[in-house]
């Protein structure tokens, strides 16, 4: 990559990071202005268009990055699990660390999943499906669940951890620890329920 291409990529990254930095519980992506993002990135507003067609393209890029980070999160959890320990506890701890370290990435996924713009809702739901697909594949590899049960368990687990992540954004450290313990119990209950259905050969 040449010097000019490197500089262009650096500026593009600055715009993405500037947009993430401006997100908060009260200030969602729809509230961001091109001028604000450009100013925080340290470039002229007109230079924005050298990197993104418009704010929607920037937002969709951010959603893609958030989804990629979620999938990388799962791979990180797998690496920890391979070294030994509880699958559910390690997965929960890894997810809570992600929320704490990347609150605005998680906020974007939460806010845009139920936002007004269909294109953003579809993009977030696509990334969530990718995450569920990977979790389903992992359960199929590490348990005796069939594909239907593995998928349902994955979807149920996602609902629990996303809900917990939303709560954790505004919690103290002690409250987060208590929340994590409740999440672990819920995930164990979901896993036990899936195993019960399998063992009793319920029609799915």
List the domains of the chain with CATH numbers: 1-52 (1.10.10.60), 56-199 (1.10.357.10)
* C-beta of residue 140 within 8 angstroms of C-beta of residue 147: yes
Please report, rounded to a whole number, the percentage of residues in the chain having pLDDT higher than 70. 98
* Residue 204, pLDDT above cutoff 70: no
pLDDT at residue 39 greater than cutoff 90: yes
Q: Could you read off the pLDDT of 50-102 as tens digits, one per residue?
A: 999 999 999 999 999 998 888 888 888 888 888 888 889 999 999 999 999 99
DSSP string, 116-173: S-HHHHHHHHHHHHHHHHHHHHHHHHHS---HHHHHHHHHHHHHHHHHHHHHHTT--H
Integer Cα distance of 100 and 199 in angstroms: 38
Distance CA 162, CA 164 (A): 5
Rg over alpha carbons for the chain, rounded to the nearest Å, is 19
> 32-36: long-range contacts at Cβ-Cβ below 8 A with a sequence spacing of 24 or more?
none
Distances (CA, A) of 22 to 7, 94, 102, 111: 23, 25, 13, 14
Identify the band that residue 203 occupies on the pLDDT scale cut at 50, 70 and 90: low
């Amino acid at each position: 990559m040449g010097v000019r291409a490197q500089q262009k990529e650096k500026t593009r990254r600055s715009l993405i990071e500037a947009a993430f930095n401006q997100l908060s519980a009260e200030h969602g992506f729809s509230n961001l202005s091109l001028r604000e993002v450009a100013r925080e990135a340290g470039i002229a507003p007109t230079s924005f268009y050298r990197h993104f067609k418009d704010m929607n393209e920037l937002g969709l890029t951010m959603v893609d990055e958030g989804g990629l980070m979620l999938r990388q999160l799962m791979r990180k959890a797998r690496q920890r699990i391979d070294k030994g320990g509880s699958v559910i506890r390690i997965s929960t701890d890894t997810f809570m660390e992600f929320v704490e370290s990347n609150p605005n990435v998680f906020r974007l996924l939460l806010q845009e999943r139920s936002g007004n713009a269909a294109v953003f809702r579809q993009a977030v739901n696509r990334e969530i499906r990718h995450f569920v697909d990977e979790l389903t594949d992992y359960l199929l590899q590490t348990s005796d669940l069939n594909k239907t049960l593995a998928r349902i368990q994955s979807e149920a687990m996602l609902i629990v951890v996303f809900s917990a992540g939303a709560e954790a954004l505004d919690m103290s450290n002690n409250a987060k620890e208590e929340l994590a313990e409740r999440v672990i119990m819920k995930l164990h209950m979901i896993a036990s329920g899936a195993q019960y259905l399998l063992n009793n050969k319920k029609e799915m």
